[in-house]
């Protein structure tokens, strides 16, 4: 039996793949053999009459890509090199060589979904939504060729010309090896934890548990965990089963997600379990326009179950699930086929396809401009001959995080504790 991997993922760039065993898809009433005669004739004409020699592999790969190019943008044929890269990048924490960006092929061209945190692209200032116009001074061309030209050996450079909201920008980025950790956790301050999920790979759930246990240990030493921020910003998705497991960590019962395939047939229904549930503290999930696919499954489930508030900007809106199949006959290494096979629905029955999730609290990534007059406001201490404070005058400390959305999430969690105390209810 051929291996088939099931996934919920964003676009076909750096990160995407899925992993659940199932039976091969059946052709149904469609009979491809009747069409092979046309294909054989065209192939024969090209081989016998085309002005230049073309390798058989290039012709086969091109024909296969042509089939998937007629489908949705998330279905694609992958040559051995691309398929092998996809499999390696979903195995867990990975060391990647390149500049570190997720890309999507759109009508207007090659668009940056998001730079990977800590990557050369992120340090160079690449932003989600940037349109790549040129690569090393040459036109972008076909998707696969463009991705190959952006990649390269460590230490080499690539020059990208970008269209950012109508303004042309040129950036020079040095390729390097860098580690992509799927999960990172830390304490924001006493009682308040933070977990960042960058992608849903094969070890995400296990790494999440490690991060939560470490946070709990530190929080218990300071009076307990009073709130948690789960950061799903710029998370392009990944493995469907890992998204389900992550949601299950915070939900004790009920539906997490269901998938519906061809003809409206329900293909799968994933339920939460009480065992191993992390509860007893409020949660805020950070999302943005690059939060996609499996990340949207998690965010949608936590929002529908009222387990967490979503804070940030509306999510990407990818509500489909792909199956990745191994295709033999491509030489020493197999090719791969990624095919959209179903749509998914949140516990309340929402399809987020093209719609995305709307946060409970809309907060832009950048803080609003301060009121220019605030700096001129006089306070009691500014007056001459003001009375001294008998208890002693102390400097007012306002320590704010550099991440505006994260700071807002922390502020809301703190206010949550205050309101719960005043209302006599527990978190």
Question: Active-site positions?
Answer: 293, 304, 318
β-pair type (131-135, 138-139):
antiparallel
What the block records as the tokens of 136 is 């090393």
Question: CA 359, 365, 368: angle at the middle one, nearest 5?
Answer: 105
Cα–Cα separations (whole angstroms), residue 145 to 56, 67, 161, 173, 195: 18, 18, 16, 18, 36
Name the DSSP class of 307. S
**Cβ atoms of 258 and 270 closer than 8 Å:** yes
31/314 Cα distance (integer angstroms): 42
The DSSP bridge partners found for residue 228 are 193, 283
**Cβ atoms of 103 and 11 closer than 8 Å:** yes
CA 280 to chain centre: 27
Strands (E), 155-302: 157-164, 167-174, 176-180, 183-189, 192-197, 227-231, 237-238, 255-260, 266-271, 283-287
């Amino acid at each position: 039996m051929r291996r088939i991997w099931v996934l919920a993922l964003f676009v076909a760039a750096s990160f995407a793949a899925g992993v659940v065993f199932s039976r091969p898809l059946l052709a149904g009433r469609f009979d491809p053999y009747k069409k092979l005669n046309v294909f054989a004739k065209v192939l024969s004409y090209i081989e016998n009459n085309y002005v230049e020699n073309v390798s058989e592999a290039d012709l086969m790969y091109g024909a296969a890509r042509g089939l998937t190019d007629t489908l949705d943008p998330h279905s694609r044929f992958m040559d051995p090199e691309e398929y092998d890269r996809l499999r390696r990048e979903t195995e867990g924490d990975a060391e990647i060589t390149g500049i570190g960006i997720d890309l999507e092929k759109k009508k207007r061209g090659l668009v940056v979904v998001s730079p990977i945190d800590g990557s050369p692209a992120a340090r160079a200032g690449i932003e989600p939504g940037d349109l790549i116009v040129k690569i090393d001074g040459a036109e972008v061309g076909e998707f696969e060729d463009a991705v190959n030209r952006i990649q390269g050996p460590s230490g080499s450079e690539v020059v990208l010309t970008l269209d950012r909201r109508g303004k042309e920008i040129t950036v020079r980025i040095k390729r390097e090896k860098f580690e992509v950790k799927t999960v990172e956790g830390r304490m924001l301050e006493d009682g308040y934890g933070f977990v960042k999920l960058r992608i849903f790979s094969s070890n995400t759930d296990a790494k999440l548990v490690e991060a939560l246990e470490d946070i709990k240990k530190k929080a218990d030493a300071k009076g307990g965990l009073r709130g948690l921020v789960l950061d799903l910003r710029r998370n392009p998705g990944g493995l469907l089963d890992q998204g389900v497991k992550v949601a299950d960590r915070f939900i004790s019962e009920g539906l997490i997600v269901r998938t519906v395939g061809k003809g409206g047939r329900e293909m799968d229904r994933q339920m939460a379990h009480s065992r191993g549930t992390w509860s007893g503290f409020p949660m805020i999930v950070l999302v943005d326009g690059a939060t996609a696919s499996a990340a949207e499954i998690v965010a949608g489930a936590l929002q529908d179950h009222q387990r967490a508030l979503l804070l940030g900007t509306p999510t990407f809106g990818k509500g489909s699930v792909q199956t990745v199949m191994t295709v033999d006959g491509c030489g020493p290494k197999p090719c791969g086929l990624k095919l959209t096979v179903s749509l998914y629905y949140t516990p309340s029955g929402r399809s987020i396809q093209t719609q995305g999730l709307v946060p409970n609290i809309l907060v832009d990534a950048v803080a609003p401009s301060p009121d220019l007059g605030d700096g001129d406001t006089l306070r009691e201490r500014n007056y001459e001959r003001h009375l001294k404070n008998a208890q002693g005058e102390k400097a007012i400390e306002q320590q704010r995080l550099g991440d505006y959305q994260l700071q807002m999430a922390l502020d809301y969690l703190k206010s949550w504790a205050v309101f719960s105390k005043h209302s006599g209810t527990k978190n």
